[in-house]
Structure 1
Amino acid sequence: WYTYEEITGGGTFSTHDPSGDTLYGADIAVHPDYRGLGIAGLLYEQRKRLMKRYNLRRMVAYGRIPGYNAVAGKMTADEYVQKVLQGELRDPSLLAHLKAGYQVKRTLLDFLWDDSSLNYSTWLEMPNPDYRPEKRQIAAAPIQRPVRKIRICAAQFQMRPIRSWDEFAQTVAFFVDTADTYHCHFLVFPELFTVQLFSLMPPDLNPNVAIRQLAGMHERYIELFTRLATERDLYIIGGSHPVIRDDEIYNVAHLFTPGGQVYTQDALHIPPIERDDFDIEPGEEMKVFDTPLARIAIQVSYDIEFPELSRLLVLSGAEVIFVPYSTDEKKAYDRVRYTAQARAVENFVYVVITGNVGNLPTARNYLINYGQAAVFTPSDFAFPPSATAGEAEANVETVVITDLDLTSLVQQRELASVRHLYDRRADLYDLRAKKAVKVVRTE
């Protein structure tokens, strides 16, 4: 059995393995002046959040049993621990671990030197109830891990008339279940796919009134996706949904995390039809989301057609750009597709696009859709032919699922046949953001 000194590398933590599946709690302490304030409980909660954040199998620790010194002549250390577990004796140190959620696996001798415990201690384990071994086998892991891969799912959403919110939620849950069944880490829905709910409104409703009524469903939208993301341990880009702020309408993409957090990215460029029909205003912030699995950005539809924005996001760390879009016919779709693929090639970044398909014949505000989900890569030897990792059939309800190798992506930015990010001519031109890209660290 290893000793404390061996496990911790003599307290230096040189034994840390970034690809390990277990979090070791080396020590925890609260200053005597601040005990009884719940600080230890908060520290334990942060440990649990780390387990969930990095999809770790368990957390382990050793536990001192300082109360054993007083009864050592009357019982063995094992018997003492059992009596504490049964509530017959009290040991403040062991009880604190039990309250935090640890389970006693065994009693150890000479794991560490502690006079009050007579060198006895408990070996404690806290399993992660949300652990997903399949996802870990795909090689998802913290950014520090030598090999990093993620599996993404792009949902090609079928527009069809519905008669209730529950019918909409059922379709959403189907795609979430699909992504979970195939052990995906990220799931992306199309831009404004919630306009399917227009079919619950009068067909001749003014577009501006309709979009505001849809924005009024924002809380239900948030509740639905937050619940599904936490239940399925998924990062979900919930397409985009209209949001009212200061009486203005914004087209807002939402990122839902397994930990229950919600992050947003406004559409920054608004096409004429959305300005004219829905009075949508452009957002003002560019964001990169630093998740435990990958650094991602979201560019809503029209945004991907502006190369400056993608370049700024990549220079700020983005490895994957998700592009939820909504286009009415093929020429509009081609603009999104070709510019998205160009962004992938010129920036050495993965770009995932997905859109709506089908029609809403009862909703004049959103009649037809043309869509084809795809995953684009850089174009070099280390990447798939045609710089496309996956592609759906056009205009059918389906998904695209593919694995993305982030380690290879980073390596190829420096080693590929061409190196766009390194070969820029800073002596001839420059690209600067007037507002800094905001890097948001997510759970």
Structure 2
Amino acid sequence: MQQKPRLDVIAADLSHVDGIVALSARVYPEEPPYTRGQILGQIHAFPDGVFVATYGGTVVGYAASTLVRERTALSQHTWDEISGGGYGSQFFAGGDWLYGMEVMVSPDHRRLRIGKRLYQARERLCLERGLKGIAFGGRIPGYRRQRKAHPDPQSYFEAVRDGDLRDPVLSFQAKAGFEPLLLLRNYAPEDLASGGHAVLMVWRNPHAGDWADDQPLTRRDPEQVRVASVQLKAATLSDPEDFYRNVDYFVNIASEYGADFVLLPEYFSLQLLSCDGVELPPLEAIDRATTFTEEFISRLRDMAIARAINIVAGSHPVKRGDDIYNVCHVFLRDGTVHTQDKIHPTPDERASFNIKGGDVVDVIPTDCGPIGVMVCYDAEFPELARRLSDEGARILFVPQNTDTVHGHLRVRYCSQARAIENQCYVVTSGMTGNLDNVSNIDIQYSKAAILTPCDFPFARDGIAAEASENVEMLIVADLNLATVSWARAQGSVRNLRDRRFDLYRTRWYDGG
């Protein structure tokens, strides 16, 4: 299979200058593009504040920021004044506000949420440096259509701010947590759609400044990870597009909720078999399911990039040589794809599908730290979770597919035990509903959950979120990784630290 490009957001350097200039020509076809000198000036003035998004090595997004004093950021100014004519020359190292001079995204890549990623890079920088907040002049392109009704741009600004009108840019930025502070008159005369004006948009760092006690926290701490789990209803389908459309629906909803990860159930892709309209014997059915692998990987990878979310994609059967494995694919939002084989096929999997067990268990690196995956039955073997925790995982994902309450509870109780004994979070996801023409996947029972250790900083019953029984739904929870680290070091019990290495240990294939 041809390797698809990655989407990365990284600090800009001199090798990106020509790509940034070319990007600006595509983004602003009616205006002169940035010059090489301007981009060089922005990078040299504040290299930590300039980011590019690259897709397959091509620059598809750019964000330039500078540091300014509060009195400069929060008063009347023009873009030329605050950006030094686009060169970033007004950078002040002692500034306490991060000012956004530019964000641009390739028109050919607008479905990849590149702008969102660039804004998030800025927000991390603001938090890391302990700055008071982020400010920028936001465009108001809807003003051109409303100019007759609102000849004074101040009245248009107030109408949008108060919710009487909607501006496609200003309303979006306000929804994203930025406060419209004041109208910036004649901010950028070449912006004809906005009448040359802009609105000063600000986000105040909740950890800095006089407002810290009452400022709503719209940006999460880097140690806080939001996870979502999909309890998916099995459905007999006539078209594979129905399957991918439904998966994308839930992935998109999780992304809209700001989740960093979304978990899907084990064997959820076997719904594709129902599109054939004929029930095959188990061995033929699982062999047929492996033929969907290339399309499955391509579609889910594209979803992860487009929705800017890490997808822990349950499991899907994969053929290697003459053997078939039950494999969880983890699609990261930068386009990277990792896999984790199910280590312990159930007796029924071996008998009906002739599934082989994998041989390698390791953490998967993500932009939220290392994670671990245990596919269903694997959660019932404590050695796997212990190895993943020893390798640094603080979140373990358990996609499952069980047909009875007994089977579900085996996985559920063991997952809760893994959370307690390893002082980590465990996220489970299962299937519900029926598939009347797919062999060996007839009925499903599920009650997905997001589980925690049982100690004072966590939920009293060790359940951060729980789905309703056998109902298709999404559950979401914020997981504080720092709390896990605290519990492991100072908790009421310290299961990882208190092991008796003088009495017992597990020796792994690699000697660990």
Q: Give your verdict on TM over 0.5.
A: yes
Partner of 1:130: 116
Matching of residues 8-407 of structure 1 within 5 Å: 40-41=15-16, 94=40, 105-106=83-84, 107=87, 129-131=115-117, 137-139=218-220, 141=222, 148-407=223-482
For each residue in 1:295-318, what CA deviation from the matched residue of structure 2 results, as whole angstroms up to 9, or x when unmatched? 211100111100011111101101
CA shift, 1:383, in A, is 0.7
Structure 2 CA distance for aligned equivalents of residues 298 and 87 of structure 1? 47
1:29-78 deviation line (CA, Å, top 9, x unaligned): 7xxxxxxxxxx249999xxxxxxxxxxxxxxxxxxxxxxxxxxxxxxxxx
RMSD: 3.2
Q: CA deviation at 1:169?
A: 1.1
**Residues 278 and 437, structure 2, Cα contact 8 Å, conserved in 1:** yes
Question: Which residue in the other structure is 2:497 paired with?
Answer: 422
What fraction of aligned residue pairs are identical, expressed as a percent?
35
For 1:253, give the aligned amino acid. C
Q: 1:341 to 1:93 in 2, by over 3 A?
A: closer
Cα displacement (A) at 1:205:
1.2
Say if 1:357 and 1:371, in contact at 8 Å, map to a contact too. Answer: yes
Q: Structure 1 stretches of 5 or more lacking a match?
A: 1-21, 30-39, 46-84, 113-122, 142-147, 438-443
Q: Name the CA distance, whole Å, in 2 between partners of 1:385 and 1:215.
A: 43
Q: 1: CA distance between counterparts of 2:89 and 2:248?
A: 51
Distance 1:356 1:151 in 2: 22
What whole-Å deviation, never above 9, does each CA across 1:303-361 have from its counterpart, x for those lacking one? 11000111111011010000000001011111100000000001101000111101112
Distance 2:371 2:317 in 1: 22
Matched residues in 2 for 1:205 and 1:23: separation? Answer: 48
Distance change >3 Å, CA 429–CA 162, structure 1 → 2: same
CA distance in 2, matches of 1:89, 1:236: 39
| Structure 1 contact 286–436 (Cα < 8 Å) conserved | no
Within 2, Cα distance between the matches of 1:353 and 1:374?
5
Q: Structure 2 CA distance, aligned partners of 1:232 and 1:373?
A: 23
- Identify if the C-alpha distance between structure 1 residues 172 and 111 changes in structure 2 by more than 3 Å, giving closer, same or farther: closer
Deviation at 1:364, TM superposition (A): 3.4
How many residues align? The count is 350
Q: Distance in 2 between matches of 1:23 and 1:316?
A: 26
Corresponding residue for residue 70 of structure 2: none
Q: Distance in 1 between matches of 2:34 and 2:360?
A: 59
- Amino acid of the structure 2 residue aligned with 1:227: D
Cα separation, partners in 2 of 1:244 and 1:23, compared to 1, 3 Å: closer
State the alpha-carbon separation in 2 of the partners of residues 111 and 358 from structure 1.
59
SS at match of 1:421: coil
Following superposition, the deviation at residue 129 of structure 1 comes to 2.0
